[in-house]
């Protein structure tokens, strides 16, 4: 079993409200945060103290997504729609009024953007024509999180009705599976890098591992004390991180499905309140976390 060593490298400040959104840039040296203050900030891992404001919106930002083909950043603007930032120019180039609901997650695949809304509708947007291709009603409650299996051409969608819907992107969003293992809202969802496993978590504080051939449940783990807000695989697929309302980050062996490390305030000068997002950056393999405490933490996590 790996021994995990944790070193906190940076605490970054600048947001004036809870930070809800976090995404790695097209160039992984950069990452982006969005918060309840409506600000979207670009951060440079080589110069992390120098955050650069790239958008200021009237409502909270829960969702961000990058388009690596066009070097664009999609911002989910609650109760409005999306704003699109050209990252080369550092400015907004277009926006669309799409919904009067909250936007909890956005994913980009090829020429399409998938937008999950608070009323259970998946909006499919054509990037090239800037038009809505379709609305897909997946449930009566919020779409909270999505994950793409690009090789399998499948989209997994976690909802507040406790279910996970898997859709076939090559067959007009035909349903592939409806997973009903959780007892509360699904907040966290990710395919492993090789797409053989789908991992889900949420308000029931359980971490569930599903194989992706038939989407049968492999294991269910009581993983945190309170809601699990997000999870993210390391690039090689061997490890994953979870973050929770219980103020902790946990590092897991993704193959053995066992806990390796707990990162919290007492042991590691971690966050003081709910941790909303965490990513395992492919740039220097640093872990980045954001919290209701309005701070961003950058962690070095080494396996010995």
pLDDT of residue 50: 87
- Percent of the chain exceeding pLDDT 70 equals 100
Pair of tokens at residue 54: 């790239």
Distances (CA, A) of 233 to 239, 249, 283: 6, 13, 14
pLDDT of residue 79: 92
pLDDT tops 80 at residue 1: no
Convert the pLDDT of each residue in 249-263 to its tens digit. Answer: 999 999 999 999 999
Whether residue 67 is contained in a domain is answered as yes
Nearest to 252 by CA among 221, 286, 211: 221
Euclidean distance between CA atoms 146 and 222, whole angstroms? 22
Whether residue 278 is contained in a domain is answered as no
Euclidean distance between CA atoms 62 and 80, whole angstroms? 12
Q: Are the C-beta atoms of residues 143 and 122 closer than 8 Å to each other?
A: yes
pLDDT tops 70 at residue 234: yes
Convert the pLDDT of each residue in 94-117 to its tens digit. Answer: 999 999 999 999 999 999 999 999
Euclidean distance between CA atoms 240 and 259, whole angstroms? 10
Pair of tokens at residue 75: 């911002």
Whether residue 303 is contained in a domain is answered as no
Whether residue 185 is contained in a domain is answered as yes
Euclidean distance between CA atoms 202 and 183, whole angstroms? 9
Nearest to 201 by CA among 134, 250, 262, 137: 250
Convert the pLDDT of each residue in 31-64 to its tens digit. Answer: 999 999 999 999 999 999 989 999 999 999 999 9
- The model's pTM is 0.97
How many domains would you assign to the chain?
1
Domain membership of residue 121 as a residue range: 20-236
Whether residue 130 is contained in a domain is answered as yes
Instruction: Read off φ and ψ for residue 121, nearest 5 degrees.
Output: -105, 130
Q: Please report, in angstroms and rounded to a whole number, the separation of the first and last CA atoms in the chain.
A: 9
Q: Are the C-beta atoms of residues 57 and 40 closer than 8 Å to each other?
A: yes
Q: Are the C-beta atoms of residues 250 and 224 closer than 8 Å to each other?
A: yes
Nearest to 173 by CA among 137, 225, 131: 137
Pair of tokens at residue 231: 């999870």
Euclidean distance between CA atoms 169 and 251, whole angstroms? 31
pLDDT band at 246 (very low <50, low <70, confident <90, very high): very high
CATH number of the domain that residue 204 is part of: 2.130.10.10
List b or e across 261-284, with b for residues whose CB sees 16 or more CB atoms inside 10 angstroms.
bbbbeeebebbeebbbbbbbbeee
Whether residue 231 is contained in a domain is answered as yes
Whether residue 277 is contained in a domain is answered as no
Whether residue 159 is contained in a domain is answered as yes
């Amino acid at each position: 079993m790996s021994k995990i060593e944790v070193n906190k490298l940076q605490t970054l400040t600048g947001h004036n409200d809870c930070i809800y959104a976090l995404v790695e840039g097209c160039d992984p040296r950069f990452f982006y945060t969005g918060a309840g203050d409506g600000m979207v900030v670009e951060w440079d891992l080589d110069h992390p103290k120098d955050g650069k404001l790239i958008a200021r919106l009237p409502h909270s930002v829960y969702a961000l997504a990058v388009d690596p083909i066009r070097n664009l950043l999609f911002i989910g603007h609650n109760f409005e729609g999306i704003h699109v930032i050209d990252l080369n120019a550092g400015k907004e180039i277009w926006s669309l009024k799409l919904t009067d609901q909250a936007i909890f997650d956005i994913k980009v695949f090829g020429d399409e953007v998938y937008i999950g809304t608070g009323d259970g509708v998946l909006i499919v947007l054509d990037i090239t024509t800037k038009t809505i291709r379709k609305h897909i009603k997946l449930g009566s409650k919020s779409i909270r999180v999505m994950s793409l299996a690009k090789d399998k051409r499948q989209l997994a969608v976690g909802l507040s009705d406790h279910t996970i819907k898997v859709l076939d992107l090559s067959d007009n969003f035909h349903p592939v599976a409806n997973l009903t293992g959780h007892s509360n809202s699904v907040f966290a969802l990710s395919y492993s890098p090789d797409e053989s496993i789908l991992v889900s978590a949420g308000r029931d504080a359980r971490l569930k591992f599903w194989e992706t051939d038939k989407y049968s449940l492999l294991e269910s783990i009581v993983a945190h004390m309170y809601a699990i807000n997000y999870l993210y695989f390391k690039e090689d697929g061997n490890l994953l991180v979870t973050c929770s309302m219980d103020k902790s980050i946990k590092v897991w062996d993704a193959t053995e499905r066992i806990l390796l490390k707990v990162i919290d305030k007492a042991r590691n000068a971690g966050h003081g309140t709910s941790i909303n997002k965490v990513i395992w950056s492919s740039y220097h393999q640093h872990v980045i976390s954001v919290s209701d405490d309005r701070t961003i933490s950058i962690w070095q996590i080494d396996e010995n």
